[in-house]
Amino acid sequence: MKKTIQIGSSISTSNFLIVFTVFLLCMAGLMALYSASLHVEASFFKKVIGKQLLWMILGIIVMFAVFLLQKKILFDGAYIFYWIGIALIVLPYFFGSSAAGTNRWFVLGPFHFQPSEFMKILVIITVARYLSGSDLIISDFKSLIVPLLLALLPMGIVLKQPDLGTSIIYFMLVFPMLIWAGARMYHLFIILAPIISIITAFNFYSFFIWVLLLIVIFYFSKERIWVAVILFVFNLSLGFLTPVLWNRLKPYQQNRIMTLFNVNVDPQGSGYQVIQSQVAIGSGGLFGKGIGNGTQTHLKFLPEQHNDFIFSVVGEEYGFVGVIVVLLLFFMLISLLISVAYRLRDRFSSLVVIGVTSVLFFHVFINIAMTVGLLPVTGLPLPFLSYGGSFIISCFIMIGLIFNISLERRR
């Protein structure tokens, strides 16, 4: 009993720190949005900053609502919620408004919902639920199949919308959860290997190194020899076939796949956005140009400055100091969340927290890596900073979920 209280109090300390970090991140976002909407002629609540503030308030209300939910309902209803979620992300194909040629939106009166945002949370809960099943043997490879399918189904649907960023998130969030649940690293490697084979196949040297790595790993794995050979040959042939298949595709088909990996590429020329974003960040220097003085931002060189490239606004106007502060805040938030997951007693709760942490982390990493030109443009927003109603609300739901789970007293 004494220990429970102790755990509870240390978690509530970290909860306080989480709230504080989230608050600071929201403030950073609002400051950047303030700057980005400086020259917009509109009343406050018509500007992105005003609208974002309203979304945040709505998010906080929703967060409290989530906080009141009972964990038992989440645990028992996980699969039902999952299928409802699947139904919702399929719906935009039939009733959605296709903003900018995509099928992501779901219009409900004045609100545009992007159900795929909320589906992330449902995937987390369902995978956590499955991995907390009492008869599950996690060290068995077969146990990994269902969680992967749970992620692949919405991934496939959302990929068709097309929203590459979100669908990648569905897939990625499963891996930290599997690791957390105790899956064997070797199994995860086998799952990821074909993907790496395909990607590296486009360059001879990268593929060569990858094949060497495969040989080493299969050699040291305690895998039965014929299984190892089959896996190796499979990956090898996948790598060899990829360029052949790619060249047999018609140009428009290639183009379609290319656009999938470059959803927001500006028609003005490939890489234009990323170059301008790097110029914005780079010209910020150590201390930045000061609020409202970012020439890249205000001369509209910077694309998508409210959404996917908000980090570049921070970089330009607050400089290296500013972006490091934001990075540290994110690092602090994620470490705090991992620690909370570690301290939780039951596996389900712990896995939910890890799932949420993964989603937040991948968003942060992929988004920032994109703005600095380390990853291709996939169209993932930056949590708490980017403008966008559905996304900000789903972020607050995730935070609410963590509070809910970490403060649960019925043990």
Partner 1 sequence: MFYLQNNATSLHRNLLILAVFSLFLILGIRLYQLQIVDYNRFAGIAESNRIRVVTQPAPRGIIYDRNGQIIVDNKSQYNVNLIPFEVAKNDSAFSLLSDILNIPESEIQRRVKKNWRGNFLPLRIAEDIDFETLSELEERRLELPGVMYSLEPIRSFPRQAHLSHVLGYLREIDKDDLQMIKNYGYRPGDLVGWKGVEREYESILRGKRGFDYVQVNVHGQEVGKVQDRHSVETQFGNDLYLTIDIGLQAYAEQLLENKKGVAIVMDAKTGEILTTVSKPDYSPGLFSGIVESNVWNELLNDTERPLFDRAIQGTYPPGSTYKIVAVLASLEENILAPEATVRCRGVYKLGRRDFKCWKEGGHGRMNLFDAIVNSCNVYFYTLVRKMDVNLWARYGKKFRFGELTKVDLYGESQGVLPDEPFLDKKYGKGGWSEGNKLNLVIGQGDLLVTPLQMVRFTGALATHGKLVTPHVGLQYMEHGTSRFHPLSFSSADSIQSISASSWEFVEKAMYDVINSSTGTGRAAKVRGLDVYGKTGTAQNPHGEAHSWFIGYSKEGGRTLAVTVLIEQGGSGGGEAAVTARKIFSYCHKNLPVETGEKEVAVR
Could you tell me the smallest distance in angstroms from the CB atom of residue 279 to partner 1?
Answer: 5
Strand partners, 111: 108
Q: Which of 55, 171, 180, 403 binds partner 1 (CB under 8 A)?
A: 180
Q: Which of 14, 206, 242, 278 binds partner 1 (CB under 8 A)?
A: 278
Cβ contact 376:302 at 8 Å: no
Pick the closer one to partner 1 by CB: 137 or 227.
Answer: 137
Could you tell me the smallest distance in angstroms from the CB atom of residue 132 to partner 1?
Answer: 5
Pick the closer one to partner 1 by CB: 96 or 288.
Answer: 288
Q: Which stretch binds partner 1 (CB under 8 A): 85-93, 142-150, 173-181, 191-199?
A: 173-181
Could you tell me the smallest distance in angstroms from the CB atom of residue 269 to partner 1?
Answer: 5
DSSP character for 50?
A: H
Strand partners, 108: 111
130 C-beta neighbours (distance < 10 Å), count: 21
DSSP character for 381?
A: P
Could you tell me the smallest distance in angstroms from the CB atom of residue 374 to partner 1?
Answer: 6
Q: Is 284 in the site for partner 1 (CB under 8 A)?
A: yes
Q: Which of 191, 279, 291, 325 binds partner 1 (CB under 8 A)?
A: 279
Q: Is 44 in the site for partner 1 (CB under 8 A)?
A: no
Alpha-carbon gap, residue 409 to 5, rounded angstroms: 9
Within residues 192-221, the interface with partner 1 by CB under 8 A covers none
At 382 the three-state DSSP class reads: coil
Pick the closer one to partner 1 by CB: 238 or 332.
Answer: 332
Q: Is 134 in the site for partner 1 (CB under 8 A)?
A: yes
Burial environment of residue 244 by CB neighbours within 10 A (0 to 12, 13 to 18, 19 or more): exposed
Cβ contact 63:356 at 8 Å: no
Pick the closer one to partner 1 by CB: 3 or 411.
Answer: 411
Q: Which of 190, 280, 380, 395 binds partner 1 (CB under 8 A)?
A: 280
Pick the closer one to partner 1 by CB: 194 or 271.
Answer: 271
Alpha-carbon gap, residue 150 to 401, rounded angstroms: 20
CA distances to 147, 151, 342, 361, 398 from 126, in Å? 8, 9, 20, 19, 14
Contact mark string toward partner 1, 371..400, x via CB under 8 A: -xxx--------------------------
Alpha-carbon gap, residue 181 to 175, rounded angstroms: 10
Q: Would you list the DSSP string of 97-138?
A: --GGG----EEETTEEE-HHHHHHHHHHHHHHHHHT-TT--T
Q: Is 283 in the site for partner 1 (CB under 8 A)?
A: yes
Q: Which of 34, 141, 234, 320 binds partner 1 (CB under 8 A)?
A: 320
Q: Is 256 in the site for partner 1 (CB under 8 A)?
A: no
Q: Is 80 in the site for partner 1 (CB under 8 A)?
A: no
Q: Is 355 in the site for partner 1 (CB under 8 A)?
A: no
Q: Is 46 in the site for partner 1 (CB under 8 A)?
A: no
Q: Which of 309, 361, 384, 396 binds partner 1 (CB under 8 A)?
A: 361
Alpha-carbon gap, residue 224 to 221, rounded angstroms: 9
Cβ contact 378:366 at 8 Å: yes
Q: Is 411 in the site for partner 1 (CB under 8 A)?
A: yes
Strand partners, 106: 113
b/e map of 191-223 (b: 16 or more CB within 10 Å)? bebeebbbebbeeeeebeebbeebeebbeeeeb
Cβ contact 317:296 at 8 Å: no
Contact mark string toward partner 1, 321..350, x via CB under 8 A: --xx--x--xx--xx--xx-xx-xxxxxxx
Binding site for partner 1 (CB under 8 A): 38-39, 41, 72, 75, 132-134, 176, 179-182, 268-269, 272, 278-286, 292, 295-296, 298-299, 301, 315, 319-320, 323-324, 327, 330-331, 334-335, 338-339, 341-342, 344-350, 354, 357, 361, 365, 368-369, 372-374, 411
